Structure formats: structure tokens, C-alpha cells
Chains A and B, each alone.
Chain A
Amino acid sequence: MAATSRLLFLLAQWRRALGLLAGVLASGSARAVELPEDRADVMYHYYDGAGTKASGPAVLVRKSLADKVSLSGSYYLDMVSNASIDVVTTASPYKENRHEETLGLDYVYRDAAITVSASNSSEPDYTAKSTGIDVSQEIFGGMTTVSLGYTRAWDKVGQKGVGFFDNAKHWRYRLGATQVLTPRIMLSGNFEAVSDDGFLGSPYRVARVFGAAVPERVPRTRTSRALMLRAIGDLGSRDSLRAEYRYFWDTWDIHASTLEFGYSRYFAGDQWLGDAYLRYYTQSNALFYSDNALAETTYITRNRQLSTFKSYGLGTRVAYSWKRVPGKYEIKLNGALERARFNFSDFTDVRDGSKYSYDQTIVQVFVSATF
């Protein structure tokens, strides 16, 4: 009798333990990380600066399937008309289109999110394909999110009248962390290393050696690293302030710093959301950059993207909540405008001998719907 009651007691204990285990497993498989919201964006974008104009439509659609994965697809068209200083002083202005398609898939499991993506970009003399994977994991009670990412890309480089003649490969490695510091402050740190191998210059661009134009020659490899730190803080009246700093360095001896400050706030209840930001960028030139080289060297370029320059930008964004049915959908009308000034220290405007500088304007108008 005693043995039977002891057996029943043990069985009851086991049932209780199994029940607890089942409960723990059930709660463990509950998702803490949410899938991205279903949304659709239709945008018109415009760029005007340094003799180059680029504009066109862009579309992004994101939809979850069976609440397990979220699929996204985007299309982007750049209609470029280029009459930049490089082009007008050494070649003829041209027009061309660049098409880009991307596909992505997001999957969340417990506290982790996984994104795989692929993209294809094509223009008459350049094609680029890439695939990437990003994994993020919430830890420390959801206060910290760590992320890892990798992208591999393959480019084909061509020239009008010649066809595709070379290629370039790229590897990008990302590491990041976002930290909730207080109920009002968040910090984030991102590191990215990029390696390139292949034809990394332009078949059209020329350098100057003793005042004479020669085809540019740039190394076939490059590795760069960038570290970005960001902080955003809630100011208490449904507004926020953010600060960002990025330091960049590479094997071509370019060192660059980017500093950005932004302020965001709601207007008229929460129907309008406005942002304003200031951006400062400065970089030193690549080792083999020269405005007009006075010696023959293995590598030589006069690509002003690799020269010493500073840029100052001022931007604003506004979002207007046009239609909203809470819990069902929201349609927003958005606009963004950025003006920036570029001042070059060692790139001469060969038309008048002055140091080159220009202003650029970026405009975006888009409708976004979340549902």
C-alpha cells in the first residue's frame, strides 16, 4: 500500500515536472522579435549636383506570409544625364539608365531575426549582383541587440564601344550592437569591413601627369573599415535628438569622418512628423591621388571622390499621416530635401584654374502605406 502511494506520488511529481517543462518550452518558442510590418512605398527621387542629374521612380513592397516570413521586393530606376566636370572636360555628356531589383526574405525565431537578400543592378556598361545575409539577436532581456551581416557582390565592368572587359568582386562584413541605455536613450555601434578585388577605376576617367591627360591607374584591391557610433534621446515632448559619428579608413590611405545631428518631432497632434539634420563630411585623399602629378607612378588617379574635400549638408524630412485606421492601415505622404556644399582642396577646375566646388540637391517625394 505504501509502495503504491509512493508510486502515485512520483507519477504526480513527474506530471508536474512535465507540465512545467511544456510551459517553459511554449513560452520559449513565443516570438519576442516581430516580423517587419507589411508596407508599400512608391517614390520619386531626384538628384542634381556637379553637372549630374539623376531621377526616377522606386517601389518597395513588403508582405508577410502565414505570419512566419516576410517577403520584400523593390525596384529602383535612375535616369542619369551626366555633364559633370570630368565629362565636359574630357568626353561628351551622356544619358543612361540604371535599373536595380532587390528581393529579401525575413524570418524570426524566438529572439532572433534572419534576413537574406539578393540584388541585381544593371546599366549599359556596368552590372552588379549581390547576395547577403544578416542575423540579429536580442539578448539581455531585450535591452541589447547584436547583429552580424555578410554580403558578397560580383560586378562586370564595361565600356561603350568595347563591351564588358573586366570584373570586380566585393566582400562586406558587418557587426553591430544596439543598446537601450535608459527608458529615453538608445545607443548603437556598427562596424563594417569591405574588401574589393578587380577593376576598381573607371575606363573613361583620365589623370593628369605633367599637365597631360593619361588613363587613370588604380590598384586592383582595396580594403576599408568603418566604425559608426549613434545615440538617440527622447526629449520628453514627443521629440528626439540624435547624434552620429563615423570614422572610416582604408588601404588606399583615405581617412574620413562623418558627423550628423538630427532633430525629430510631431506637429498637430501626431499627424505631422518632421525631421531636420545637419551633416558634415571630411576626407583626406588617396595615396595615389594627384591633381597634376609631377612624377610617373605605378598608380595615378584624378578621381575627385578620392581627393581631399569637405561637404556640409542640411536636410529636412516631413511625413503627413493622410489616412489612418488604427490596427488596419495607415497611408503617409512624405517629402525629403537635402542641400549640400562640396569644397575640394586639391581638385582644380581646369576651365578656370580655381579650386572646384559645387552644390547638390536631393529631393524625394513618396507615399508609404503600412497595413
Chain B
Amino acid sequence: MNVPRVTARRPAAPRLAVVLVLAILLAGCNIQPWVKPYERERLADPVMKFSRDALSDKHFEHAREVREGARGATGVQGGGCGCN
């Protein structure tokens, strides 16, 4: 009796991802820093900072962390608090 053979086909997506990652890594070998230090004057301006006042940010972060379910990844170190 012939039993049909079930051959597991590997999905194409992971292979494509590996090829893409390798291509990006290999391309990365040839990339040079394209924004020179003397071109970063505007980036150093206070208006271009994600965070300017640590104490102020910490207070906002604390007020949010005790009222929202989400937390973390904001780059601000919040203080521990029970805040029942």
C-alpha cells in the first residue's frame, strides 16, 4: 500500500529574511559615516534633544507610570513607588 509521503516544505519567509540580513550586513561593511562631526551643529541645539530636563521628565514619567498599565523604554529612570 502506498502511503503518501508528507514532505514538510520550509517556508520561504525565514530564508528570505536570512538573505536580506546578510545583504544588509555585507553592505554595512562599505558604509562610511555620512554625517561629519562639523555637520552636526544643528543636532547639538537644545531644540533637537529628546530630553532636556531630567528632573522634569522624571516627574512626568512617575505621574504616568502610576496611572497607566504601560511602562518602560522611555529613556527616563522613574522612581519606585507603591502609590496604592
Which chain A residues have a beta carbon within 8 Å of chain B's beta carbons? Answer: 41, 43, 45, 47, 49, 58, 60, 74, 76, 98, 100, 102, 117, 119, 121, 123, 125-126, 128-130, 132, 140-143, 151, 153, 155, 157, 170, 172, 174, 176, 180-184, 186, 188, 190-194, 202-205, 224-228, 230, 232, 234, 238-240, 242, 246, 248, 250, 252, 254, 256, 258, 264-266, 273, 281, 283, 286, 305-306, 311, 317, 319, 334, 336, 338, 342, 360, 362, 364, 366, 368
> What is the CA–CA distance of A126 and B54 in the complex, to the nearest angstrom?
24
- Residues on B with C-beta less than 8 A from A254 are 69-70
> What is the CA–CA distance of A70 and B72 in the complex, to the nearest angstrom?
25
A242-B43 contact given A47-B63, A224-B71, A336-B56, CB 8 Å threshold: no
> Would you call the interface of chain A mostly helix, strand, loop, or mixed?
strand
A194-B47 contact given A74-B55, A132-B77, A180-B40, CB 8 Å threshold: no
Taking the closest CB of chain A, its distance from the CB of B9, in whole angstroms, is 31
Which chain B residues have a beta carbon within 8 Å of chain A's beta carbons? Answer: 32-37, 39-43, 45-50, 52-56, 58-60, 63, 66-75, 77, 79-84
Taking the closest CB of chain B, its distance from the CB of A247, in whole angstroms, is 9
Partner of A242, one of B33, B50, B73, B82: B50
Interface contact A283-B70, CB-CB below 8 Å: yes
> What is the CA–CA distance of A193 and B39 in the complex, to the nearest angstrom?
35
Question: Knowing that A174-B72, A334-B53 are A-B contacts, what are 15 other residue pairs whose CB atoms are under 8 Å apart, sorted by A's residue number?
Answer: A45-B59, A121-B80, A125-B82, A125-B84, A126-B81, A129-B80, A190-B74, A192-B71, A194-B72, A230-B50, A254-B70, A281-B68, A360-B67, A362-B59, A362-B63
Partner of A202, one of B33, B35, B84: B84
Interface contact B80-A170, CB-CB below 8 Å: yes
- Residues on A with C-beta less than 8 A from B74 are 190, 228, 246
Interface contact A58-B59, CB-CB below 8 Å: yes
- Residues on A with C-beta less than 8 A from B52 are 319
Question: What 9 pairs across the A-B complex have the smallest Cβ distances?
Answer: A128-B80, A126-B82, A141-B33, A192-B72, A248-B70, A226-B73, A256-B70, A192-B73, A228-B73
Taking the closest CB of chain A, its distance from the CB of B43, in whole angstroms, is 6
Taking the closest CB of chain A, its distance from the CB of B42, in whole angstroms, is 5
- Residues on A with C-beta less than 8 A from B68 are 256, 281, 283, 305, 311
> What is the CA–CA distance of A98 and B69 in the complex, to the nearest angstrom?
21
Interface contact B82-A123, CB-CB below 8 Å: yes
Which among B42, B63, B72 has the highest number of chain A CB atoms within 10 Å? B72
Interface contact A227-B42, CB-CB below 8 Å: no
Taking the closest CB of chain B, its distance from the CB of A257, in whole angstroms, is 8
Taking the closest CB of chain B, its distance from the CB of A86, in whole angstroms, is 9
Taking the closest CB of chain B, its distance from the CB of A12, in whole angstroms, is 35
Interface contact A368-B53, CB-CB below 8 Å: yes
Interface contact A239-B80, CB-CB below 8 Å: no
A224-B72 contact given A126-B82, A128-B80, A273-B46, CB 8 Å threshold: yes
- Residues on B with C-beta less than 8 A from A242 are 50
Interface contact A226-B70, CB-CB below 8 Å: yes
- Residues on A with C-beta less than 8 A from B49 are 232
Closest to B32 in A: A141
Interface contact B63-A364, CB-CB below 8 Å: no
Interface contact B73-A142, CB-CB below 8 Å: no
- Residues on B with C-beta less than 8 A from A305 are 66-69
19 contacts between A and B (CB under 8 A): A41-B56, A45-B59, A60-B55, A76-B79, A126-B83, A128-B81, A142-B33, A183-B35, A183-B42, A190-B74, A192-B72, A194-B72, A202-B82, A232-B48, A238-B45, A239-B47, A242-B50, A248-B69, A334-B53
Taking the closest CB of chain A, its distance from the CB of B57, in whole angstroms, is 10
Interface contact B79-A102, CB-CB below 8 Å: yes
Taking the closest CB of chain A, its distance from the CB of B33, in whole angstroms, is 3
Which among A224, A225, A227 has the highest number of chain B CB atoms within 10 Å? A224
Taking the closest CB of chain A, its distance from the CB of B51, in whole angstroms, is 10
